Structure 1
Amino acid sequence: MLTSFAYSLVLMTTVLVSGAIGSVIISNDHPLIHFHGRWDKSPGTWWAGSGFKMHVDNLKSLSLILGEHTTTPVASIGVSPYPSLKPSSVVRINVEGWQNNRINVEKIILNDGARLLPYSPSRLGFQFIGDSLSAGQYLPQGVDQAWPFLVGEQFKAEHTVNAQPGATLTDIVSYGNQHGVSFQFFRTEDTGYFYTTDHNFTTAWDFRRDVPPPTHVIIHIGANDASQSVTQDSFIKTFLNFISRLRTLYPTQPIFLFTPWGWPSADGSVSQYYPGAHQQIVQDRIKLGDHNVFLVNTTGWVTFDDVFPDNQHPNVPGHEKIANLFGAWLETWGLKPEPEWPA
């Protein structure tokens, strides 16, 4: 497991990993910066967890100079140095927030004598798609404490989280989101674009920028569709169309569909939505000849002790529990964690 440190970045200031500010200036278009997640041309982040990794020889200090498109007054980030016995280090920096999570990187300053090396990605790559239950809403460190992020760490895998709190899968307005995930997943920007005066438009995401492409796709969504009274039949149709479109990007990758774990109450009851829908979606894909879509039955995974009582979203221990249960499910399915990080 990587060690994660939380920082708050203030516009045009610096964050040090250690030591003093150095004199090696890295431009934001340097080919050895390994970007992950969604970045626009500025370059600026969108969606929770987007960031970059660098493999650096003789790393002693690292500073970021941020531009005008950074969320103000602060944007929280996670900094994860990869443990290594070698002189070189890999550092991952990613935005934590489920909203207000934009950093606009102008340049990176390293200590004198530091040198960038090629970054070797993990053989495994997880693409997570969802809503607030995957984006880490209400967690102190946001997506860095959410179950998708934790599963990625457990398996030593590259991981990208495209999850939007309040968003439906259906392309409708929902809780401040102008679009549903079935539309927004294919865009660079998350649905926060609508409220961002310097960037109130969307651009198509070039999936060739996801290097390497994900090896596994995990989807957990539907709570907001149910809250917006989307019928079960309509939800199933939208989901099937969404998977068909995903298959143009990920023709052979396993796709895992989470059933809803529901909304647990203090009396021990659990309010469910779309009973049997995800099972039908998997069955319909199999009928089409797609035998690489799998159901993850999460019934009983989340109890009232695992959620914040005022909003029923998983708390920190709840996300850890979900990550451990899904990790065990994946191992039973046949996927084993990588023995070590490549770099």
Structure 2
Amino acid sequence: MTGKVSRKLATGLLAAVVAAGGITAVSATTATSAEPPATLAGEPTDPNIRFTGRWDTSDPGAYTPYWAGAYLSVGFTGTTVTLQQRDTIDLYASVDGGPMVLFDDVSGEVNVTPEPLAAGEHTLVVSYRVVAGSYTGDAVFQGLSLDEGAETYPMPEREHLIEFVGDSITVGTTTSANHLTAYPWLIGEQLGAEHTAIAQGGACLVAADCVGLEQQFAKLNPNAPEPDWDFSRYQADAVVINLGTNDIGHDVSGEQFQAAYTNLLRTVRASYPDAWIFAMRTFRERYVAETQAAVDTVIGEGDDRVSFVDTTGWLGESDLSDAVHPNDQGHRTITEHLAPIIAERL
């Protein structure tokens, strides 16, 4: 990396407005022995770099997001910026608020500014394709490289954070750019809020023989029983739950579902005491009465910041890519309906 200073990253946010359809493909000093080594700008521990969502930061040289919708953001000076990736991954990067550009099957040093920028201050937002199902990319961020003498600086924080909980619909499966063209990302950007998703394709509410979010909601990794997620790392202002589409295929009874949904609502409330919780009617009309009953139960227990979202009639045939998953248009349709409901409470 001749002529460059190695740089890596540290804690969560965003600042690029991503337009749907705007996606293009592109196939220090040494510390003394008495002092801890200084953090270099661009290292994963650089406090100017923010990580939104659930990132595994246990390895200070390699940060990993396990859930959909996580991203990093940072300001930087100079004319170029290069990501340091461990192994092959699909990633999206936006420079200076421009469209998210797809870098497909990249690894090692990934130059996200192939055309050098004008000297000055710039911004960068990076999101990885969610690693799940048949996709086995390596979403491990190991840092940034900038021009010699360049610096990082923090992006301005957004006032609110919205967390979306769900399955492949929430992930954005079958859309043109996966999560970047799904309603959680679109709503967050439209409302100018930070946003992340605790979602995985095929997820259920009840842990039958699938990922059960009644339990995994509180975990760092959807596919591991430990460790628990540290909810002190961020607090959501709104939580949107869209679960129940997959449970019916795992022989979950209505009684089981209602009890699990009630328990999840209690867990979300304990995790985010001040958040407004939205429980969505599934678009496939599954466990609707049970979802409504779970909401009524916690309201009856004194929780006055939770509501049932009736999605009846939101999606038509032209909004779907198959019998289950919304297409790009469908996710925009969901955004049109759901964003004002969330905005009213925020």
The question of whether the paired residues in 2 share the 8 Å contact of 1:45 and 1:101 is answered with: no
The residue that corresponds to 1:269 in the other structure is: none
The residue that corresponds to 1:183 in the other structure is: 215
1:81 to 95, 100, 125: 95
TM-score normalised by the chain length of structure 2:
0.77
The question of whether the paired residues in 2 share the 8 Å contact of 1:169 and 1:182 is answered with: yes
Matched, 1:125 2:161: yes
The question of whether the paired residues in 2 share the 8 Å contact of 1:45 and 1:102 is answered with: no
The question of whether the paired residues in 2 share the 8 Å contact of 1:97 and 1:141 is answered with: no
Matched, 1:155 2:191: yes
1:214 to 233, 236, 239: 236
The residue that corresponds to 1:145 in the other structure is: 181
- CA deviations 1:13-66 (Å, max 9, x no partner) are xxxxxxxxxxx962122121101222222322211122211122x342211111
2:249 to 220, 227, 244: 227
The question of whether the paired residues in 2 share the 8 Å contact of 1:32 and 1:119 is answered with: yes
The residue that corresponds to 1:327 in the other structure is: 339
Q: Percent identity?
A: 26
Q: 1:231 to 1:82 in 2, by over 3 A?
A: farther
Q: CA deviation at 1:242?
A: 1.1
Q: Aligned equivalents of 1:282 and 1:87: distance in 2?
A: 51
Structure 2 SS opposite 1:26: coil
2:170 to 111, 123, 134: 134
Q: How do residues 21-40 of structure 1 correspond to structure 2 at under 5 angstroms? A: 26-40=42-56
Q: CA deviation at 1:324?
A: 1.4
1:294 to 307, 310, 328: 307
Q: 1:330 to 1:209 in 2, by over 3 A?
A: closer
Q: CA deviation at 1:208?
A: 2.1
Matched, 1:316 2:328: yes
User: Which segment drifts farther, 144-153 or 164-173?
Assistant: 164-173
Q: 1:275 to 1:27 in 2, by over 3 A?
A: closer
Q: Aligned equivalents of 2:172 and 2:145: distance in 1?
A: 30
Structure 2 unaligned regions, length at least 5: 1-16, 28-39, 99-118
The question of whether the paired residues in 1 share the 8 Å contact of 2:208 and 2:250 is answered with: no
Matched, 1:244 2:266: yes
> Partner letter of residue 233 of structure 1?
E
> Partner letter of residue 157 of structure 2?
P
Q: 1:281 to 1:328 in 2, by over 3 A?
A: same
Q: Aligned equivalents of 1:29 and 1:296: distance in 2?
A: 40
2:67 to 47, 58, 61: 47
The question of whether the paired residues in 2 share the 8 Å contact of 1:8 and 1:77 is answered with: no
The question of whether the paired residues in 2 share the 8 Å contact of 1:45 and 1:104 is answered with: yes
Q: 1:330 to 1:27 in 2, by over 3 A?
A: closer
The residue that corresponds to 1:259 in the other structure is: 281
Q: Aligned equivalents of 2:245 and 2:236: distance in 1?
A: 25
Q: Aligned equivalents of 1:32 and 1:6: distance in 2?
A: 27
> Partner letter of residue 300 of structure 2?
K
The residue that corresponds to 1:267 in the other structure is: none
The residue that corresponds to 1:13 in the other structure is: none
TM-score normalised by the chain length of structure 1:
0.78
Matched, 1:97 2:116: no
Q: Aligned equivalents of 2:340 and 2:270: distance in 1?
A: 29
- CA deviations 1:244-301 (Å, max 9, x no partner) are 1111211121101111121xxxxxxxxx321322221221111101110011111111
The residue that corresponds to 1:341 in the other structure is: none
Structure 2 SS opposite 1:32: coil
Structure 1 SS opposite 2:84: strand
Q: CA deviation at 1:87?
A: 4.9
**What's the Cα RMSD here?**
2.4
The question of whether the paired residues in 1 share the 8 Å contact of 2:23 and 2:177 is answered with: no
Q: CA deviation at 1:140?
A: 2.6
The question of whether the paired residues in 2 share the 8 Å contact of 1:125 and 1:158 is answered with: yes
The question of whether the paired residues in 2 share the 8 Å contact of 1:188 and 1:203 is answered with: yes
**Number of aligned residues:** 289
Q: 1:258 to 1:273 in 2, by over 3 A?
A: same
Q: Aligned equivalents of 1:48 and 1:8: distance in 2?
A: 22
> Partner letter of residue 129 of structure 2?
E
Q: Aligned equivalents of 1:120 and 1:79: distance in 2?
A: 18
Q: 1:36 to 1:66 in 2, by over 3 A?
A: same
